[in-house]
Chains A and B, each alone.
Chain A
């Protein structure tokens, strides 16, 4: 089992969700986050005061999937979230040891 974390542009969330749903990914966790990568921040000017805003708003999505779905999932996210401009985000892949569905007590792939 794999655990995929992707940081994407906020306005791409719906497209990514649709692409993943199409693959049969049955659950996504979404978090609004801030951070910076190569895109860096921008400056804001309030009267005489100039502030450099280092952390830009992004959306973090997390999914747990069967290992064989990984390549398709990565491709789906990449395709849906890509604009070609700096700041499109990143995808991180983790090995997932265990999953438990709390309601039924099912474990492993059956619980995904």
Chain B
């Protein structure tokens, strides 16, 4: 049974790419031998469809999406949307000063809207298409404007012959792109110019999110082919966004009065509500990444509870021990760190492996937002790097370790811990470099042309009134 599950997972990580149909003439290699595969092809890009259909038509029955899988994926998509609006928005909003509350809420919601549209225009095609000679890094534009996708189109899952509606897959992946870009807001909060942020969001989405997502999840993608394991986006989402936020915080510079004036969070209850919505939504993120309502989703589900709880506790106890008091913000931050760390591992490690991974992430991320942050001296306003960047790296490396069947993981074909960890580290390194360079260039370009930061006067006034002409609280 375990063996079967391992195979399922491997196929899954292959299928996640793009889920075969978007890949055109070359479906996921691991799947090609299966007879059912031919039937899945008609949903492929237009040019491939007629031939495949002609071939398949006589004998094969076209797979029909299972209603349970379809429902689960639509629910998962909704859950991830809940993570962004209002989850991330409130989590971040509570952490800024009252005068910047609306600016953060506006930024997160506007980014969600913007990325949704860009995803349909070219994002989906570039992330999950077949890029030909550039396929190691990026897809193509054959599905621009979602061309050729209809209600009958299907996307492959981890199991041969099991499909989900392609529109569902498009929507599910859309939410991942949107949350990744929205996460970056935290590193720039309280000082970034709104127009500059939107331009950055579009640039970074195009040149960093899409290639990294393609490299990790699409057939033919460089890291995908190397066997890099990223179940639900630890590398693609969290390290990617964490690095962008770090670079942004450094290019932008510190907030006026940073280190001198008190900048306490204006509403930790909001942050608690946001963190809780993130946790609940994360079940869609992690268990939804299984693409089917099966035991794999159940494993990701239980891991999303246990690793998170372990991280919340480990952060809390470490803080209690080192600083004297267990804080609400500490538990909430630990919870997010745990969610981040279990993301790449969710459907791959056993529950006990997940608990250890979470517990480690809670403590190391506490160091990330205190010791490391102080040592490096940057002003990452809401600790996107300290939690998502560091937590993502722990998760990515930890996945390579705890996927081991000896440690309760589901295993992968030809697994050896050493080589898997090296592969995972390669993925981390490539993402850090790629996202780092793209972010640096994009931030610098924007800074030199339109300006990245509001004036000092506007910053002191607060972005709510200065940038948006409204205030959060009229009490």
Indicate if the CB atoms of B383 and A47 lie closer than 8 Å.
Answer: yes
Stretch at the interface among B288-296, B369-377, B403-411: B369-377
Chain A: which residue is nearest B387 at the CB level?
A47
Asked whether B327 lies within 8 Å of A49 as measured between CB atoms, the reply is: no
Checking B264, B265, B373 against A48 with a beta-carbon cut-off of 8 angstroms, the contacting residue is B373
Q: Counting CB contacts under 8 A, is B325 at the interface?
A: yes
CB of A44 within 8 Å of the partner chain: yes
Contact: A46 with B329, CB < 8 Å? yes
Does residue A92 face the partner (Cβ distance < 8 Å to B)?
no
A47 to B323, CA, bound (A): 10
Residues of A contacting B265 with CB < 8 Å?
46
Cβ 8 A contact of A46, one of B264, B366, B371, B386: B264
Shortest beta-carbon distance from A57 to chain B in Å: 15
**Are A48's CB and B262's CB within 8 A?**
no
Assess whether B323 is in contact with A45, with CB atoms less than 8 Å apart.
yes
Q: Classify chain A's interface size.
A: under 10
Closest beta carbon of chain B to A36's beta carbon, Å: 14
A48 touches B369 (CB 8 A): yes
Q: How large is the interface on B (under 10, 10 to 19, 20 to 34, 35 or more residues)?
A: 10 to 19
Q: With an 8 A cutoff between CB atoms, is B147 at the interface?
A: no
Give the residue name and chain of the A residue nearest to B263 (CB): A49
Which residues of B sit under 8 angstroms from A52, Cβ to Cβ? 262
Of the listed residues A46, A47, A48, A51, the one surrounded by the most CB atoms of chain B closer than 10 A to its CB is A47
The complex places the Cα of A47 from the Cα of B369 at a distance, in Å, of 6
Q: Are B369 and A44 in contact (CB under 8 A)?
A: no
Q: Which 6 A-B pairs have the closest CB atoms?
A: A48-B370, A51-B262, A47-B369, A48-B369, A48-B373, A46-B264
Contact assessment for A51 and B264 in the assembled complex, using a CB-CB cutoff below 8 Å: yes
Could you list 18 examples of A-B contacts with CB < 8 Å? A44-B264, A45-B323, A45-B325, A45-B327, A46-B264, A46-B265, A46-B327, A46-B329, A47-B330, A47-B383, A47-B386, A48-B370, A48-B371, A48-B373, A48-B374, A51-B262, A51-B263, A53-B262
Question: Closest residue to B258 on the A side, CB-wise?
Answer: A49
Which label, helix, strand, loop or mixed, suits the secondary structure of the B interface? helix
CB distance from A34 to the nearest CB of B (A): 13
At the interface, yes or no: B333 with Cβ under 8 Å from chain A? yes
Contact with B along A20-61 (1 / 0, CB 8 A): 000000000000000000000000111111011100000000
Q: Which residues of A contact B370 (CB under 8 A)?
A: 47-48
- CA A47 to CA B327, docked complex, whole Å: 9
Closest chain-B Cβ to A59's Cβ sits at a distance in Å of 19
Q: A50: nearest residue on chain B (CB-CB)? A: B323
Query: A49: which B residues are within 8 A, CB to CB?
Result: 263-264
Q: Which residue of B lies closest to A49 (CB)?
A: B263
A51 to B323, CA, bound (A): 13
Closest B residue, CB atoms, query A44: B264
A103 CA / B172 CA spacing, docked (Å): 69
Closest to B325 in A: A45
Docked Cα-Cα span, A49 to B371, in Å, equals 10
In the complex, chain B residues whose CB is within 8 Å of the CB of A51:
262-264
Shortest CB distance A15–B (Å): 28
Task: Give the distance in Å from the alpha carbon of A46 to the alpha carbon of B370 in the complex.
Answer: 10
Q: Closest chain B residue to A53 by CB distance?
A: B262
Most buried by B among A45, A48, A51: A48
Chain B residue at smallest Cβ distance from A52: B262
